[in-house]
Amino acid sequence: RIGEGKRLLVIDAHLDIREPGVLEKWETDPYSGLIDRDFVHGRGSVNQKAGAASFVTAGRILKEVGFDRGLTIFFTGTVMQEACDGLSWKYIIENDHIKPDVVLLTKPTNLKVNRGQRGRIELSVTFRGGLPEGENSGVGVNAVYLASRACLYLEKLDKSCFVDPFLGKGSALVSEFISLSPSMQSVPNYAKIHVDRRLTWGETRESAIAEIETMLQSAPAQVEILKYKSKSYTGLSAGMCKYYPAWKMPANHPVVISAVNCFDDLFGSLPELGKWDVSSSGAIINGFYGIPCIGFGPGDEYLAYTPYEHVPVDHLEKAAAFYALFALRV
């Protein structure tokens, strides 16, 4: 924390990372933090330790220049983001009763100013079938057939989802199919599919569920939003529905303009205004709570989760300078 003002700026990095995967695919030790040819290598170097390293440096810069604005800055290292986007921020806002005026996410943007992302919702659709009570023939409702028709419907839906000029196209993916039957000679009485529905601007939880319920009509099926609940490393148990709204900040919003001007003053050119293809806590911060939120982070998001993950040292330096100047100007 820096400052004592009534208005609150938060600069955030999530500190949890994915597992390194197959170690043989890495050219360097994924946990080495090796600095080689002006790059820092390793798991989490891009997503998302680089942003945290840069904001620590920004905090030192602000101390050295004598930060004296009527503003409080929190530098937050949040957790559980990889498993449930923005869960930590839902808890901070609802349980700690901390609601910032502005949030700057340091998730990797390749030094672009990001102002939005598509949302998503995770759904399960459960189908019930089997034979009528007391019937031994092969006539009955086949739950696998019902679920298969739903999969074909979702394949068509994926191609016809709405397109937003900035955020892009929504999508629908069936990522899991489970079925059960009393025996291999019986009509399947249970099937379930997992649907990953990416939501562009104008698509919501209600519209995504309504699409599937319309398709189901009178079929014996149930649509449910999946829930996440787990314990953090502190032992605290927290959870939420797996619905993450699409969000975007207008290009002419004062916070976006402030970020553009900071970049121009530091580096002598206008930044690219972009969006994330990966998920971020902005879905909760801005999508749920309407808090002005932008992203600016070192590293290329497309290197995240790969065995080639690395971040340029000069990105770390530029991000630290940007965070410090943004805090002075916003």
Digits of tens for pLDDT over the chain (330 positions)? 999 999 999 999 999 999 999 999 999 999 999 999 899 999 999 999 999 999 999 999 999 999 999 999 999 999 999 999 999 999 999 999 999 999 999 999 999 999 999 999 999 999 998 876 545 555 688 999 999 999 999 999 999 999 999 999 999 999 999 999 988 888 999 999 999 999 999 999 999 999 999 888 878 899 999 999 999 999 999 999 999 999 999 999 999 999 999 999 999 999 999 999 988 999 999 999 999 999 999 999 999 999 999 999 999 999 999 999 999 998
Half-sphere exposure in the Cβ direction for 147 (13 Å, CA): 26
Output the pLDDT for position 218.
Answer: 75
Burial 137-161 (b: 16+ CB within 10 A, else e): eeeebbbbebbbebeebbeebbeeb
DSSP-based helix, strand, coil % in the chain, nearest 5: 30, 30, 40
Check if the beta carbon of residue 115 is closer than 8 Å to that of residue 249. Answer: yes
Torsion on CA atoms 247, 251, 252, 254, rounded to nearest 10: 60
Helix (H), strand (E), coil (C) string for 183-241: CCCCCCCEEEEEEEEEECCCCCHHHHHHHHHHHHCCCCEEEEECEEEEECCCCCEEEEE
Check if the beta carbon of residue 31 is closer than 8 Å to that of residue 42. Answer: yes
Tell me the CA distances in angstroms from 85 to 26, 112, 139, 287, 291, one per residue in order.
Answer: 27, 21, 45, 12, 16
pTM of the model: 0.92
Output the pLDDT for position 220.
Answer: 85
